């Protein structure tokens, strides 16, 4: 349907324009067309009062934020966050990372031997940084790290990477460092 224009007449109160009834019929028709075109079914979308799932119209097409317009925080209850087939969830206060099949569906299943596996080449806490180099050696703050016979003891680093109440075990190729 095309936009309906209200005839307001040639001059004030010259009785050549649309009557009040006809004018508001055109207004209602215009608004109905807008609401229908926007898929609002007679309601206005209020992002601060969502009472349904927020699902994009087309799969794998739209973003939430951008590199220059990012969301500051995301709050999720005891649900999950999916990145492709990787599921991040909270299990009794522990971050659980799990590869799954049929992500988010009732048929979702964990892929065997993938639960809790986190891969990284860098651990950072405060001013301290552990880096796993391509040759398999570790660096602490840019210097080679040998562990000094720590075995599985508490790893204490000036600045607090680990302390007496924070135990860290670093495993490289199956051996504790």
Q: What average pLDDT does range 1-23 have in this prediction?
A: 86
- pLDDT, tens digit (0-9, with 9 covering 90-100), for 13-30: 888 888 889 999 999 998
pLDDT of residue 171: 47
Q: What average pLDDT does range 16-45 have in this prediction?
A: 82
Name which residue leads in pLDDT, 9 or 158: 9
Q: What average pLDDT does range 74-80 have in this prediction?
A: 84
**Which strands, in side-by-side order, build the sheet including 128-132?**
122-125, 128-132, 138-140, 143-145
- Token pair 């680990």 is found at 162
pLDDT at 148 over 80: no
Q: What average pLDDT does range 118-147 have in this prediction?
A: 71
pLDDT band at 121 (very low <50, low <70, confident <90, very high): low
Question: How far apart are alpha carbons 153 and 162 in whole angstroms?
Answer: 11
pLDDT at 126 over 50: yes
pLDDT at 137 over 50: yes
- pLDDT, tens digit (0-9, with 9 covering 90-100), for 106-120: 888 888 877 665 556
pLDDT at 96 over 50: yes
pLDDT of residue 42: 58
b/e code 28-62 from CB counts within 10 Å (16+ = b) = eebeeeeeeeeeeeeeeeeeeeeeeeeeeeeeeee
Find the angle CA(69)-CA(39)-CA(56) to the nearest 5 degrees: 45
Burial of 140 (0-12, 13-18, 19+ CB in 10 A): middle
pLDDT at 173 over 70: no
Mean pLDDT score of the chain: 74
pLDDT of residue 21: 92
pLDDT of residue 162: 40
């Amino acid at each position: 349907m095309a936009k309906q224009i209200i005839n307001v007449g040639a001059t004030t109160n010259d009785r050549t324009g649309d009557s009040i009834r006809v004018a508001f019929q055109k207004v209602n028709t215009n608004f109905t067309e807008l609401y229908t075109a926007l898929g609002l079914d007679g309601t206005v979308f209020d992002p601060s009062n969502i009472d349904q799932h927020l699902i994009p119209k087309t799969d794998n097409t739209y973003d939430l934020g951008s590199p220059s317009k990012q969301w500051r925080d995301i709050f999720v209850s005891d649900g999950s966050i999916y990145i492709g087939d990787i599921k991040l969830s909270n299990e009794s206060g522990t971050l659980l990372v799990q590869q799954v099949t049929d992500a988010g569906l009732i048929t979702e299943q964990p892929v065997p031997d993938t639960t809790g596996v986190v891969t990284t080449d860098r651990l950072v806490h405060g001013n301290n940084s552990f880096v796993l180099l391509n040759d398999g050696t570790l660096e602490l703050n840019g210097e080679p790290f040998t562990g000094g016979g720590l075995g599985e003891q508490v790893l204490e680093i000036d600045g607090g990477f680990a302390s007496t109440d924070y135990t860290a075990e670093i495993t490289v190729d199956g051996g504790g460092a």
